[in-house]
């Protein structure tokens, strides 16, 4: 790192007692951005963007389907990243982060599959086909379920962390398979309209709406995960001094609030 002072100050937040208040301060901002971005994105998607020449109105599902599908893949990669960091560095917070991400990833994965099915019926003529894209995305949902079930089923948190980390790392293989499935094999699912390697093949207002919705799903994920990680940190660290002090402070706050009411 070029600036050791700055590096140290950021690494400070790897410690649970520093990350806990930071998460609490950041979450409302991300939540507020998520609300604003979703409102703007849906307005662009449903009122500003034109209808599609071949599909008509039904294409508007992309404003939810595509950001959800992107997010479901990205969250799994982030989970795998934190799992690897946890395994290598033995950091306490990393495993907690990957476990806090899993339910949101599973939710986005389900939304992508569900909206895709609703779109598939009028467009393809079938809710579901077993092509490589759809099947590998379904596998991702099962990986999320497996990760959540396994980390919840093992009592000892250290063993639960390790078992979950291994599922997260092994399952990460599936993410490039989902992404490239439409290039590697003949699939019914169409290829990517938006990618880093070529110009997007969709009208500008449609693209803008979709990207705003993608940002909204980022903000939503950050807000929800930061909120979810806080009680998880408290539970893990319940025997430490700082959690005792934190709980005392919270109890005092609620007492004064109760007295006022």
Residue ranges in contact with another protein by CB under 8 A: 50-55, 59, 62, 84, 87-90, 122-126, 129-132, 169-170, 172-173, 177, 184-188, 190-193, 201-203, 206
State the Cα–Cα distance between residues 194 and 207, nearest whole angstrom. 8
User: Residue 137, exposed/middle/buried by CB under 10 A (0-12, 13-18, 19+)?
Assistant: buried
Least separation in angstroms between residue 243's CB and another protein is 27
User: Residue 34, exposed/middle/buried by CB under 10 A (0-12, 13-18, 19+)?
Assistant: buried
CB 100 within 8 A of CB 234: no
Q: Which is nearer to another protein, 71 or 206 (CB)?
A: 206
Least separation in angstroms between residue 132's CB and another protein is 5
Q: Which is nearer to another protein, 87 or 234 (CB)?
A: 87
Least separation in angstroms between residue 192's CB and another protein is 6
Q: Which is nearer to another protein, 190 or 240 (CB)?
A: 190
State the Cα–Cα distance between residues 195 and 122, nearest whole angstrom. 26
CB 34 within 8 A of CB 26: no
Grouping H, G, I as helix, E, B as strand and the rest as coil, residue 129 is coil
Q: Which is nearer to another protein, 142 or 184 (CB)?
A: 184
Partners of residue 52 on adjacent β-strands: 56
Least separation in angstroms between residue 219's CB and another protein is 24
Least separation in angstroms between residue 48's CB and another protein is 11
Q: Which is nearer to another protein, 7 or 122 (CB)?
A: 122
State the Cα–Cα distance between residues 93 and 85, nearest whole angstrom. 10
State the Cα–Cα distance between residues 163 and 160, nearest whole angstrom. 5
Q: Which is nearer to another protein, 29 or 185 (CB)?
A: 185
Grouping H, G, I as helix, E, B as strand and the rest as coil, residue 132 is helix
Least separation in angstroms between residue 114's CB and another protein is 18
């Amino acid at each position: 790192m070029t600036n050791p002072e700055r590096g140290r100050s950021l690494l400070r937040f790897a410690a649970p007692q520093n990350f806990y208040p930071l998460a609490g301060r950041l979450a409302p901002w991300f939540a507020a951005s998520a609300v604003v971005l979703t409102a703007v994105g849906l307005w662009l998607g449903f009122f500003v963007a034109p209808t599609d020449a071949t599909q008509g109105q039904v294409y508007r599902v992309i404003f939810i389907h595509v950001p959800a599908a992107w997010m479901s893949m990205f969250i799994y990669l982030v989970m795998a990243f934190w799992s690897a960091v946890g395994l290598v560095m033995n950091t306490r917070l990393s495993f907690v982060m990957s476990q806090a991400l899993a339910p949101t990833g599973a939710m986005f994965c389900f939304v992508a599959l569900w909206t895709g099915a609703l779109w598939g019926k009028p467009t393809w003529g079938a809710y579901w086909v077993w092509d490589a894209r759809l099947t590998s995305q379904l596998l991702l949902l099962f990986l999320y379920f497996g990760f959540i079930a396994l980390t919840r089923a093992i009592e000892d948190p250290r063993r639960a962390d390790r078992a979950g980390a291994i599922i997260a790392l092994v399952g990460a293989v599936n993410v490039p398979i989902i992404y490239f499935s439409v290039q590697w094999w003949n699939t019914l699912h169409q290829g990517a309209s938006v990618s880093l390697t070529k110009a997007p093949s969709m009208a500008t207002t449609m693209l803008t709406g979709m990207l705003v919705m993608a940002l909204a799903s980022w903000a939503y994920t950050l807000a929800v995960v930061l909120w979810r990680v806080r009680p998880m940190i408290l539970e893990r660290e319940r025997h430490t001094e700082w959690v005792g002090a934190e709980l005392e402070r919270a109890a005092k706050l609620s007492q004064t609030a109760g007295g006022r009411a």
